[in-house]
Each structure stands twice: as C-alpha cells, then as structure tokens.
Structure 1
C-alpha cells in the first residue's frame, strides 16, 4: 500500500481543500479565474490532516495565475526551529506527479521527503534553492488564510494574520 500512496504535504494555496481539488478534478478556480487540467486519476484524497513542516515558508517568483505576485515555497534546507503550518492529503503517487507538473515542475523541481505517517511517505515539492522573495497578491494570501482556518479551526483569526505577516517580506 505504501508504494501506491503518498501523503502530499502542502503549505500554500493548496492548504484550502476547495483550491487543491482543482489540481485533482480540474476546472476553473474561482479564486484566480485560472483553468486547471486536473489529474488523470480524479479520485478524491483518501484522507487529510493538519501537518507541520520543518522548513521555512517564503514567497517568490512571479505567478501570472496570481496577478504576478509571489507564490509559496519552502527553503529546501530543513530547519527544526521553524515550523510551517500545512496539510497532508493522502493521494496516489501518480496524482502527486500530476500535481507537481501542474504546479510547474521547473519551479517546484525539488521533492522533499518529510517522513512517514501511518507507514506512508510524506512528500512535498519546492524550488531547489531559495529564489528572490516577492510579495504575494492579496487574493493568494486570502486563500491561504481560508485554508489555515479550515485546517486549524481552533486558531484565532488574529494568530493566522500574524503567522502570514511573519512570512511575507517587509
């Protein structure tokens, strides 16, 4: 079973399930009006859970899908003193590969192995080195904030806002 499935750890806009499902099912996203092809296998994730990632979150590049603002990346170097709030989705290995391609496998060219949950590997992707930081577009940040509220419902709004502010370049 562990060879067929992977826990995909996400930390940007995919933390919001509605947004993430465009990578699985395809279709037009209401948050950025972008169209996504979806995965070949359009099966829903088998499970999802909150998950903290021991890598620094930052925003970089210039995404046309998000009005040329920066998008979320992780510093590829592990840092146990910094925890990025994320979510894991249990999906097939083929879905993971399809999602990486849709995200842009030249931008997200490094797969990080983050351990195991229930005997199944936890993986995510980021850029192979830290790129120049770029402020994200407000709509992108709002999607992440909705995803944090969905994933961490006990977290007060003020704490979510402070978390976001700490990761956006001054």
Structure 2
C-alpha cells in the first residue's frame, strides 16, 4: 500500500468533549482555576478546521475514577454496539500532533509518543492501536490508552480515544453527567425528551 501524507484527522468525542468549550481547553490550555482544571496548550493553538455531530456505533459507559470530576468517566466499548445502542459523538478536524496532545491531556500524562500518520491509514475500521501514554513514569497505563479507528469522514481518517483496560464500571458525578447532557443536547441528535433515556442506558451499563 503506497503511503500518502495525512495532515489532519477527525478526533471524535463522546464524553465531556462533546462540549466545544471543554475541548478548547485541551487545545488552548487552561488554568488551575478553570472548571476543567489545568491543561497545557497544544503545540500550536489553532482551532479545529471543522466540527460536526455524528453517531458512533459503540456503546457509552462509565468507569474508573476522576479526581477532577469525583466519579467515573466516559468510555466507549471498542466492540461494535447492538443496533440502537451506539453513542452521541462530536467530531473535530484537527492536526495530527493535536490528537496525541489530547491523548496525553486526557490521561494527565507527560506525553504520548505515537505517530498516527501512516498508522491511521492502514488501520481497519474497528481496529484499536495501543497508545504509549506515559502516566506517572509508566508507559501504557493511561486510562484512555487506545485509539479506536472509526469510519472515514469525508475521506479523512477518524479516531476516538477509549480504553483496553478493565477499570471497573462506576457512576459519574452529577456535574460530569450534566456536562455530557449539555453536549448531547447541543448535538441535536436527540429530541429533548430522548436525552434522559440515552444517558440512563449508559448508566445501566455502568452498574
């Protein structure tokens, strides 16, 4: 397969990064007093080229524990979901180095030494690539430690971040769940009366 250059990819969010302002904290940086906590800015603080709301064929659930959010946080199952049990997503068309920066920030890590250029082209939809996320001096131990290949969007590769670890399911805090609810509402993929049922499904999978 002949290599071809890739300059951007679609990062597809499904948790708190459904909210554009929250995702912007990863690219632009934020202070310790921010409601999103402290984050380093990306190597270049340019906004996404495009953004759109879409559907992921992977089920949403909550697991692990976040000190910032005082509860479990969102993941999607790497395996395809049964029909109708997928997840609300928001895609951001970003630079390649922004993706690895986001992966590091999602894990509160010092870095993610993965180069997605050629790798994302040869990954098949549904494949996962292990991310060398360096957390507390140990590689591979980040919560969001795999990149899941999603179908291309307008011919451009798409990825999301999730986990291959058994972090233990759990319940999110009210504040974290409210943030996701706001993002789902902004997506307009659901009528207002459908949002509670969508989130309840994720909560049930997390018990």
Q: CA deviation at 1:158?
A: 2.3
Asked if 2 retains the 8 angstrom alpha-carbon contact of 1:2 and 1:121, the reply is: no
Local SS of the residue matching 2:73: strand
Local SS of the residue matching 2:182: helix
Count how many residue pairs are aligned between Structure 1 and Structure 2.
168
- The answer for the alignment partner of 1:12 in structure 2 is 15
The separation in 2 between residues aligned to 1:128 and 1:92, in whole angstroms, is 24
Report the TM-score, using the length of structure 2 for normalisation.
0.75
Say yes or no: does 1:116 pair with 2:118: no
Moved more, 87-96 or 143-152: 143-152
Gaps of 5+ in 2: 108-132, 134-141
Asked if 1 retains the 8 angstrom alpha-carbon contact of 2:22 and 2:36, the reply is: no
Q: In the alignment, which of 153, 157, 162 is matched to residue 192 of structure 2?
A: 157
The separation in 1 between residues aligned to 2:165 and 2:51, in whole angstroms, is 28
Q: In the alignment, which of 41, 66, 77 is matched to residue 79 of structure 2?
A: 77
Which structure has the larger Rg? 2
Local SS of the residue matching 1:35: coil
The separation in 2 between residues aligned to 1:35 and 1:145, in whole angstroms, is 23
Asked if 1 retains the 8 angstrom alpha-carbon contact of 2:73 and 2:172, the reply is: yes
Q: Choose between structure 1 and 2 for higher RCO, CA contacts under 8 A separated by at least 6 residues.
A: 1
The separation in 2 between residues aligned to 1:50 and 1:108, in whole angstroms, is 21
The separation in 1 between residues aligned to 2:104 and 2:148, in whole angstroms, is 15
The residue correspondences of 1:89-128 to structure 2 (distance < 5 A) are 89-104=92-107, 105=133, 106-128=142-164
- Runs of 4+, deviation exceeding 3 Å: 28-33
Change (3 A) 1:2 1:10: farther
Gaps of 5+ in 1: none
Asked if 2 retains the 8 angstrom alpha-carbon contact of 1:22 and 1:29, the reply is: no
RMSD of aligned Cα (Å): 1.9
Report the TM-score, using the length of structure 1 for normalisation.
0.91
Change (3 A) 1:30 1:146: farther
Say yes or no: does 1:87 pair with 2:85: no
